[in-house]
Homo-oligomer: A and B are copies of this chain.
Amino acid sequence: MTQSREVHLVRRPSGVPEPEDFAIVTVETPDADEGEIQVQNLLLSVDPYMRPRLNGDQPFGVPMIGGGLGRVIQSNHAKFVAGDLVRHGAGFQEMFVSNGQGVSVLSKDPELPLSVYMHALGGTGLTAYGGLLEVGDLKDGEQVFVSTAAGAVGSAVAQIAKARGCYVVGSTGSDAKAAWLKDAAGLDAVINYKRQPLSRALAEATPKGIDIYFENVGGEHLDAALPRMNVNGRIPVCGMISTYNGGGQGVRNLFNLIYKRVRMQGFVATDFGHLNTAFVADMTGWLKSGQVKYQETILDGFERAPEALIGLFSGENAGKMLVRVSD
């Protein structure tokens, strides 16, 4: 029996979540019983999809749902040994006991840092890969626009598209992120939507229109992209972060879907299990060759998980937002 902490939702946020919507709760974590493992969390993944869940799907009185990376510290389970690095969906808790369901051993490449398995080589990267290549049906050399292009998913999408010979435009909300996208990630054009009128800037940045708009934002971004879509264009819908906190404007330009025969399609990372082998091989190669670069923002200390989630909605992260629970 060990003491450990969990983050619970204690109030459903109205608008942007506040610290008071969450509580850090200390619980007793039992030892691993027969057929069980005890896991010490190392890294927590903090993601935009968590916001809509706070409105209903996230129960009270249990750890916040989410993915993480941990180390097995006790094992009475045939498939795990103490010391194994594991990925799991056990959410925001320092330590947990599991029968192994939803927990998988990570085979880490020794040349890559552990944290990339929480973004470029994790669900984030698979979301980018499947959303762009399968849902978006990307063809080499196409015209691609990515919103929140400096975010964890967006930056992977933008660089995969570059690796496939596409012309890539990204939007972001700060000059520092814009500079990273242009200089490090090598995008063809970058729009800081807080400094420029988005519709006009996007029209200027996409002289050949848009074949794929990778949608992370919704609202004004979608309205700016729709009139620029080419015939048979595709809009893989990964997220709509502008709408998650109840704000943002309604979308008025959807009629552009009709004559352009545009396909808009929602998806989530769990749709892409069948792509995983190809994804790991491709992404490991791109990371090692430097064709896919990444940024990450790691907050140190389990108790900072609510702050990390809240910070996502004000764009405080560069790249993937993570919480380090333990080394």
A interface residue numbers (CB < 8 A to B): 52, 218, 222, 237-240, 243-244, 248-252, 254-268, 271
Contact = CB atoms under 8 A, between A and B. Distances in A.
Contacts of A249: 250
Contact of A257 (B248, B252, B258, B264): B264
Contacts of A266: 256-263
A259 B237 CA distance: 10
Nearest to A267: B261
A78 to B, nearest CB: 35
B255 A252 contact: no
Contacts of A243: 252, 254-255
Contacts of A52: 255
Given A262-B266, A263-B263, A237 B254 contact: yes
A248 B266 CA distance: 24
Nearest to A246: B252
A174 B88 CA distance: 54
A51 to B, nearest CB: 10
17 contacts: A52-B255, A218-B255, A222-B254, A237-B258, A240-B254, A240-B255, A240-B258, A249-B250, A250-B250, A251-B252, A257-B265, A258-B266, A259-B266, A260-B266, A261-B266, A261-B268, A261-B271
A276 to B, nearest CB: 18
A259 B271 CA distance: 10
A258 B239 CA distance: 7
Nearest to A252: B250
Given A250-B250, A261-B271, 16 more contacts: A237-B257, A239-B255, A239-B258, A243-B252, A244-B255, A249-B250, A250-B252, A251-B252, A251-B254, A257-B265, A257-B266, A260-B266, A261-B266, A261-B268, A263-B263, A263-B264
A240 to B, nearest CB: 4
Nearest to A239: B258
Nearest to A49: B258
Nearest to A260: B266
Residue picked from A262, A263, A266, most chain B C-beta under 10 Å: A266
A244 B254 CA distance: 11
A126 to B, nearest CB: 15
A263 B261 contact: no
Nearest to A57: B259
